[in-house]
């Protein structure tokens, strides 16, 4: 158990809808990262937050947004969903904002857009 | 753009032998490189980190090398066991964080 909690584990929705994925980092970790994993693209970095502030941005679509709350949990909002958004979404956390730090991953949210 | 290449085909190794996984990168000069293990339906788990000034790093049955001239990292598992079967992800990193490869699926056959 990594200590990172993601909910829900599975999400099935329709095109055009909006969903929210939730992540609670390990106790004491200040950084939260969001990744998208699909069979053809591998693990793609979306965005990082550190202590409530956006720290780094990757290949995140404009239809997607995220935030980190004062209690350090994070939410990833996906809107106007398309079939191609179907993927496994992982949250990871680390102690600080140093990019060399190892990441602790949650078990992921499997999103299916029908 | 940065490109990370790992064996796309599954690697079958007999139990007890050494498994060697390759990670090649192009258009990139990472300051460090991490390796993760991922089991089906689970998140990746950190295994090892090696810095650009380190040639080799060991942890129990695991060994990682980092050749910045060849732009390559090798990941070795000695005395392999069926429990080592998983997908292994290579992740070179710099100031902007990690870039993950697609992983190599390793199968250790009894």
Q: What is the mean pLDDT of residues B37-63?
A: 95
- Residue A93 forms beta bridges with which residues? A32, A104
CA distance to partner chain A, nearest, from residue B76 (Å): 20
Q: Quick one: tokens of B48?
A: 């090892």
Supply the mean pLDDT for chain B. Answer: 94
Contacting A residues, span 36-95, partner chain B, CB-CB under 8 Å: 41-45, 48, 56, 58, 90, 92
Per-residue pLDDT of B17-40, as tens digits, reads: 999 999 999 988 999 999 999 999
Q: Which residues of A touch B93 (CB under 8 A)?
A: 99-100
Q: Name which of A58, A55, A87 is nearest A74 in CA terms.
A: A55
Hey, are the CB atoms on B97 and A45 less than 8 Å from each other? yes
Q: What is the mean pLDDT of residues B54-71?
A: 95
Query: Buried b vs exposed e over B22-41: b needs ≥16 C-beta within 10 Å?
Result: ebebeeeebebbbbbbbeee
Hey, are the CB atoms on B45 and A2 less than 8 Å from each other? yes
pLDDT for residue B94: 86
Hey, are the CB atoms on B98 and A45 less than 8 Å from each other? yes
Q: Which of A90, A99, A107 sits opposite B95 (nearest CB)?
A: A99
Q: Which residues of B touch A44 (CB under 8 A)?
A: 100
Assign B95 a pLDDT band (cuts: 50, 70, 90): confident
Q: Quick one: tokens of B93?
A: 């990193």
Any idea what the Cα angle at residue B91 is, between residues B96 and B45, rounded to 5°?
115
Q: Name which of B109, B104, B69, B76 is nearest B90 in CA terms.
A: B104
Rounded Cα gap, residues B4 and B90, in angstroms: 8
Q: Is B99 on the interface with A (CB under 8 A)?
A: yes
Containing B100, the helix (H) or strand (E) segment is none
pLDDT for residue A95: 94
Hey, how many other C-beta atoms are within 10 angstroms of the C-beta on B11?
16
CA distance to partner chain B, nearest, from residue A56 (Å): 7
pLDDT for residue A42: 86
Assign B2 a pLDDT band (cuts: 50, 70, 90): confident
Any idea what the Cα angle at residue A19 is, between residues B39 and A96, rounded to 5°?
55
pLDDT for residue A100: 84
DSSP output for B52-85: TT-SEEEETTEEEEEETTTTEEEEEESS--GGG-
CA distance to partner chain A, nearest, from residue B92 (Å): 10
- Residue B45 forms beta bridges with which residues? B37
Residues of chain A predicted below pLDDT 70: none
Hey, are the CB atoms on A100 and B43 less than 8 Å from each other? no
Hey, how many other C-beta atoms are within 10 angstroms of the C-beta on A79?
15
Q: Which residue of A has its CA nearest to B6?
A: A42
Rounded Cα gap, residues B105 and B102, in angstroms: 10
């Amino acid at each position: 158990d990594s200590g990172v909690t993601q909910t829900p584990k599975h999400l099935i929705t329709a095109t055009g809808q909006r969903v929210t994925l939730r992540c609670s980092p390990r106790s004491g970790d200040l950084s939260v990262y969001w990744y998208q994993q699909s069979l053809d693209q591998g693990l793609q970095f979306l965005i990082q937050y550190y202590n409530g502030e956006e720290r780094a941005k990757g290949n995140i679509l404009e239809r997607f947004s995220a935030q980190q709350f004062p209690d350090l949990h994070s939410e990833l909002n996906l809107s106007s969903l398309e079939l191609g958004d179907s993927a496994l979404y992982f949250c990871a956390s680390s102690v600080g904002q140093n990019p060399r730090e190892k990441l602790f991953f949650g078990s992921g949210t499997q999103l299916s857009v029908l | 753009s940065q490109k990370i290449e790992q064996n796309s085909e599954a690697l079958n190794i007999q139990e007890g032998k050494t498994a060697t996984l390759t990670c090649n990168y192009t258009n990139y000069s990472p300051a460090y490189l991490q390796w993760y293990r991922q089991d089906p339906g689970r998140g990746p788990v950190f295994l090892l980190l090696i810095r650009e000034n380190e040639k080799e790093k060991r942890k129990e049955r695991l060994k990682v090398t980092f050749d910045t001239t060849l732009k390559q990292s090798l990941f070795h598992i000695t005395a392999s066991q069926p429990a080592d079967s998983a997908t292994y992800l290579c992740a070179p990193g710099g100031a902007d964080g990690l870039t993950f490869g697609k992983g190599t699926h390793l199968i250790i056959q009894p």
